[in-house]
Amino acid sequence: MTLTPERVTDLPMVDEDLEHHRFRVHRATMTSPDVFREEVRRIFHRCWLYVGHESEVANPGDYVRRPLAGRPVFMVRGVKSNRVHVFHNTCTHRGAAVCRQKAGNSKVFQCFYHAWTFDSEGNLKGVPDREAYGDRLDFAALALKPVARVQSYRGFVFASFDEQVEDLVSYLAGAREYLDLVVDSADGDMEIIKGTNEYCIDANWKLLAENSVDGYHAVSTHDTYFKYLVALGTDLKGGVRGTAKDLGNGHAVLEYAAPWGRPIAKWEPLFGEHARDEIAKLRADLVARHGEERASRMADTNRNMLIYPNLVVNDIMAVTVRTFMPSAPNRMDVTAWEMAPRGELPQLRQRRLDSFLTFLGPAGFATPDDLEALESCQQGFDSGGVEWNDISRGMTRVPEGNDEAQMRVFWRRWAEQMGDAGRHREDLR
């Protein structure tokens, strides 16, 4: 049976059949405008979404402007309260954007249209010809509108447009442990380095959610990078296999032994002989603070973590924070930041940035490969003839890193939020 547009949101699009070891997802989830509209309403307007990191607004008056699920918002640290606010980027008078620069520092935000002025706490402070409004208009009610819910965990700031959303700590569930590993590796003092990677992908956003925790594609898709590492002297004989974990609420992580160097505390030939002693000292400091077992997790293992629906934290050869916002059924906007310990040695910072650009940058070894793969999938969907994607790998065993259990975690949560529990349907076989 063909899934027609008028029926697309009425039918179960995730089909899990344990008896036949089958998990599949209908390709209309990747192409249908109806599905896209429902995703925005049911998922992006109800979930916690990553806005930014507190280090980006470290000083009173610091701000950054961000798109959040198609809505313009900005994050600012209040001058008086020192609190981090997230406001809808719209003047309460006639609607124009009040924050017009990507980032900066300001005590006030003035709408260029009619010059209404707001302070960093959102209060309306200036209205030209104010006496024209009389003395009964409640100007306090015309303050900037904050996003419904804003909470922070270990410096990661999230916002939700749903006032009834569960608290952030509960929502993050098992993902908290992995955020803690990132932050504690720098003794609790991480910062986002200024500058971003920004690019678009002509593919459905869920393809990048899958790809970000997909160990199955690494060797075949990123063959050039692995050959490059081997040429530098890196030992890849053990491969890059690991384990996949369900972290709850649609979050998942792919964790595996680090086959390459990590500036935090694992030396590789890539760094040069002069760095051996320096990195050995970093590792000794980690052990002294956290013990051998936890220090080893920080230094010797890589983690690709998806925080549902659209935040990825790659704690690998560099700590990368990446979001992807859908703009159409077949297009997404991607932004990536590099995170690092505040005040680390310049040579360590340089290695980190080199890895951020060399592997994960838009022109690096990995990202162009992934873009080509995802856009190729999207083109394949347009071909028709095949209705379902198969995501069954590893259903009969304890999940390994190159299985697809982590994708199934994502899709079960997606189906739940879309009002589809993935029931088996005979007429869709």
> Under DSSP, is residue 242 helix (H, G, I), strand (E, B) or coil?
strand
Question: What fold is seen in the domain 49-164?
Answer: Rieske Iron-sulfur Protein (2.102.10)
C-alpha to C-alpha distances, 250 to 42, 215, 306, 307, nearest whole angstrom: 14, 18, 8, 7
**Can you say how many angstroms the Cα of residue 271 is from the centroid of all Cα atoms in its chain?**
28
Kindly give, in sequence order, each residue whose CB lies less than 8 Å from that of residue 308, ignoring residues fewer than 6 positions away.
47, 209, 249, 250, 251, 410, 413
CB 307 within 8 A of CB 175: yes
pTM of the model as a whole = 0.91
Kindly give, in sequence order, each residue whose CB lies less than 8 Å from that of residue 418, ignoring residues fewer than 6 positions away.
9, 13, 35, 38, 39, 42, 43
> Digits of tens for pLDDT over the chain (429 positions)?
444 544 555 568 999 999 999 999 999 999 999 999 999 999 999 999 999 999 999 999 999 999 999 999 999 999 999 999 999 999 999 999 999 999 999 999 999 999 999 999 999 999 999 999 988 999 999 999 999 999 999 999 999 999 999 999 999 999 999 999 999 998 899 999 998 999 999 999 999 999 999 987 777 777 677 676 677 666 666 555 689 999 999 999 999 886 655 656 666 666 667 777 777 888 889 999 999 999 988 888 889 999 999 999 999 888 999 999 999 999 999 999 999 999 888 878 888 888 888 877 888 888 889 999 999 999 999 999 999 999 999 999 988 888 999 999 999 999 999 985 333 333 332
Instruction: Give me the residue spans of the domains in the chain.
Output: 49-164, 174-417
Q: Which CATH superfamily is domain 174-417 in?
A: Naphthalene 1,2-dioxygenase Alpha Subunit; Chain A, domain 1 (3.90.380.10)
Q: Give the Cα separation of 303 and 293 in Å (integer).
A: 16
In this chain, the answer to whether the domains covering 49-164 and 174-417 adopt an identical fold is no
